[in-house]
Amino acid sequence: MTDQPGRLLLVDDEPAFCRLAAAWLERAGHRVVVAHDPEQAAARFAETAPEVVLLDLVMPPRLVPEAGLDLIPGFASVPVIVMTAHAEHDLALRAVERGAWDFLGKPVEPELLSFAVARALRVARLRREVAELRAGGGAEDLGLVGRSPVMARLRERIRRLGATSLPLIVLGPTGTGKELVARALHQVSDRRAGPFIAVHCGALPGELLESELFGHIKGAFTGAHRDRPGLVEAAHRGTLFLDEVGEMPPPMQVKLLRFLADGSFLPVGGREMRRAEVRIVAATHRDLEAMVAAGTFREDLFFRLKGFVMRTPALAERADDISLLAAVFLQRVAPGARLTPDALSWLAARDWPGNVRELRAVVETAGALATEGEGVDAALLRFAAGEAEEEQEAPPAGAGPGQLDAAIAALESRMLRQALAETGGNQSEAARRLGISRPGLIKKMARLGLR
C-alpha cells in the first residue's frame, strides 16, 4: 500500500512544537493546518475538513486535559491521535473512551509521528470508502470493488461495450472477477431485464455440453425421454456467459461459431435449425493465442471473440485496492468488525496467487472466526489463510519426556485449524470432516488455545 499525503489538523498550544511538527509532516507531503486553542481547533476542523487530527490534551485557558478531551467527540468522524506530555495510562484510557484513535507520548519523535499519521490516514480513507460503498457506491461501481486506475478503465469499457450486443471475451488470471465483469456487462445493457446464464465449459464432457447449450430432441440418446431446450434458448434476449471457453472441445467450438454468426443452432438429434437472440460473453484464464498456435482452439472462433477483449488485472497489478476489498468482504460477514493496522500491512505484503477469490476466502474465514468487539488482526488472517507458524507446527525432534503429547497436540492443532479454514470457520462442518462431534471440536479448540 502506498502512503499518500493527507490533510491534517494539528492542535497544540505550543507554537514552537507546532512549527517543528508541521515542518516534519510537510516534508512528508502532508498539508498541515494549525490551531492553538479549543475554539480555533473547532473552527479549523469545520473549515478545512481534515482527514486526521493531532490533538494535545492540555490547552488554554484552563490548561487541564479536559480542554482537549472535550474536543474529541466533535472530531469523531476522523481518526484523532492524542499527544500529551502527561502520557499516563489513565489519561490515555479517558481519551480512547471519548473516541480517540491513537495515543502518542510527548516528546514526540518524528518517525513515530509520521508512522502514526500514515496509519491513521489509511484508516480514514478506508472508513470513507466503506461509507461510500454503503451509501450506494455499489451501483456506480457495477459490483466491482476497486478504486485503482486500472479498475476505473475496466468499468469505463464495460459501460461503453455493455450497450452493444457484440460478443466479447474477458481474459485474466483466475479469481480476478471475469464473471463479475460479464454480469456487469449484462446489467448495463438493455438486456438487463432478460436472463443472465453462466455455463462452465470445462465442467461437462463434450456431448453433454452440447445438449446443455443447444438442448436435445426426444430420443436423441438413451435417457432423452422428452424434448429439452438448451441454455441458449433459456438465455433468449439475455446474456450467456461461457466461462473457461478454452476448455470447449473443438467440435463444440464449430457449433458455437455458427451460433455466433447468425444466432442459429441445431438441438442434439434435431433436424431443424432454431434461433435465439443472445449476447455471448466468453472468458478464460488460459492463453488462447498459444492454444490457437497449438491447434487446440479454433482460430476463426478466436478472431470472432477477440474483436472486443476485456482484461481483468491480477490483484498484484492493483495492490492499492487490497485494503478496500478486504474491508468490504469483512463487512459482509462481520458488520462493524475492523481490520487492525498489522492486518492491513499483512494483507498488503502477501502474494495473492488466487487473486480476489483467495483474498475474499481468507478475509471471510477470519471474519467468521473473529471474536465480536475485537479487531481482525494479522495472526487471525494468517490462521485463516492456513499459514502455519513453523515453530508451532514442527514436531519435536527425537523422543523425550512429554514429547509424544506435544507432537500429538501440534498435529491436532494443525488438523483443526486446517478444517476450520477450509470450512470458512463453520464448526459443525469442520467437526464432520474431522469425524468428531461439534462439542468435542469446541473442547479441543479451547484446550489447544484456538479461540
**Number of residues in contact with ligand ATP under rule CB under 6 A:** 18
Q: Is 356 in the site for ligand ATP (CB under 6 A)?
A: yes
Closest contact distance (angstroms) between CB of 281 and ligand ATP is: 11
Note whether 50 binds ligand ATP by CB under 6 A. Answer: no
- Cβ distance to ligand ATP smaller for residue 353 or 396: 353
Which residue in the set 84, 176, 323, 340 belongs to the binding site for ligand ATP (CB under 6 A)?
176
Q: Are residues 246 and 286 in contact, defined by beta-carbon separation less than 8 angstroms?
A: yes
**Binding-site string for ligand ATP from residue 428 to residue 447, where x marks contact by CB under 6 A and - marks none:** --------------------
Binding region for ligand ATP (CB under 6 A) out of 1-9, 170-178, 214-222, 229-237:
170-178
Asked if 227 and 216 count as a contact pair (C-beta separation under 8 A), the reply is yes
Provide the 3-class DSSP secondary structure of residue 84. Answer: strand
Q: Which of 7, 236, 285, 414 binds ligand ATP (CB under 6 A)?
A: 285
On the 0-12 / 13-18 / 19+ scale of CB atoms within 10 A, 49 is exposed
Q: Scanning residues 298 to 317, which ones bind ligand ATP (CB under 6 A)?
A: 312
Q: Is 330 in the site for ligand ATP (CB under 6 A)?
A: no
* CA distances, 101 to each of 6, 80, 124, 240, 326 (Å): 17, 5, 11, 49, 21
Distance CA 437, CA 292 (A): 52
Single-letter amino acid, residue 450: L
243 binds ligand ATP (CB under 6 A): yes
Cβ proximity to ligand ATP: between 5 and 354 the closer is: 354
Among 186, 304, 360, 444, binds ligand ATP (CB under 6 A): 360
- Residue 180 or 266: the one with the smaller Cβ distance to ligand ATP is 180
Please report whether residue 71 would count as binding ligand ATP according to CB under 6 A.
no
> Per CB under 6 A, which region of 105-113, 121-129, 201-209, 353-361 contacts ligand ATP?
353-361
Task: Please give the single-letter amino acid code of residue 258.
Answer: R
Q: Which of 21, 142, 145, 248 binds ligand ATP (CB under 6 A)?
A: 145
Examine residue 353 and say whether the peptide bond preceding it is cis (omega within 30 degrees of 0): no
Per CB under 6 A, 155 contacts ligand ATP: no
Burial letters for 335-370: b for 16+ Cβ neighbours within 10 Å, e otherwise? eebbbbbebbbbbeebebebbbebbbbbbbbbbbbb
Q: Which of 372, 361, 369 is nearest to 442 (CA)?
A: 369
Q: Is 330 within 8 Å of 337 (Cβ atoms)?
A: yes
Does position 242 bind ligand ATP by CB under 6 A? no
> How far, in whole angstroms, is CA 390 from its chain's centroid?
27
Q: How far is 149 from 130, CA to CA, in rounded Å?
A: 18
Check binding of 158 to ligand ATP (CB under 6 A). Answer: no
Which residues lie near ligand ATP (CB under 6 A)?
144-146, 172, 174-180, 243, 283, 285, 312, 356-357, 360
